[in-house]
Amino acid sequence: MPRTFRDLIAENRRKSAFLVVGFLAFFTITIYVFTLYATGADARAGLLPALGGLGLGAILAFFSYEAGAGAILAMSGAKPIKKEDDPQLFNVVEELSIAAGLPMPRVYLIDDTAMNAFATGRGPRNAVVAITKGLRDRLNREELQGVLAHEMSHVRNYDIRFAMLLAVMVGLLALLADGFRRWMWWGGGRRRSSRDGNAFMAVIAIFAILFSIVAPILGKLIQLAASREREYLADASAVELTRNPEGLASALEKLGKDQEVLEVANRATQHLYIVNPFKPFETRSRGLLSTHPPLDERIRRLRALEGAAERRSSPVVS
């Protein structure tokens, strides 16, 4: 039985809740283990720092929800623009908002010649769509409409909330792992091992070292679980809004040929963009560790939708 948009919205809300709960649990366990390893305290003595870690994790999760979109926009160098700055762009966004039954999102521009776009926010009432100057300059109106319809589909499906939380929390996870590696490098781990040779602390040390290695991989796997299928769904939903598969297909072809690097993108935010901002993304997208499906497959599916629509509208010749 095919899933409805309500099913997608409910699923994304559940994913967002699971992501926050999982982050809190992981963060609390990490603080607990790190405290035992760094201080040599017994298991009971580490409970108080673990509770502190839970509280800190809750604060970070709240920050991710309330201020995550602002942090992502700041990291991306996106600046708000007004209707008088680009009437045609706002006209396209307004048309799509009406077609999708959504409030008008805020519009941001990234001053970069690379071609890309993303949407973010807690939900439709405070959504943001951001596009690069390179994309705005090199797409015609139909192509621009296709890209923005894709992003508005992420808004309608509540993909943006999950992706926003994911971006902030993956970034925090990477910072935590990097901080621990630096602490180990500057002698924290060596001092503990020289003072304490018991088996329990050895196990804790191994766990702590594994964390610094596994945390970035875990963040990547979470991104992968979230990203590939939602891009296909947003492409199909964009066609439903525009009734024009060729607009988005043509835009994706241009995006695929663009080899400029989007300097402001990073590991935490790469899954937000309509195409992978790291180059050469089309080659890397074929790998298992890509956050995006292959562009040629996305284009093939869009053109298949167009062909199916033409066959349905063709007159029957007897």
User: For the chain, how are helix, strand and coil distributed in percent, rounded to 5?
Assistant: 70, 5, 25
d(CA 57, CA 10): 25
d(CA 156, CA 97): 10
Nearest to 89 by CA among 17, 170, 168, 144: 144
3-state SS string over 68-118?
HHHHHHHHCCEEECCHHHCHHHHHHHHHHHHHHCCCCCEEEEECCCCCCEE
Candidate list 143, 151, 231, 282, residue with the active-site label: 151
Distant-in-sequence, close-in-space partners of 3: CB < 8 Å, separation ≥ 6: 11
Active-site annotation holds for 151: yes
Catalytic machinery residues: 151
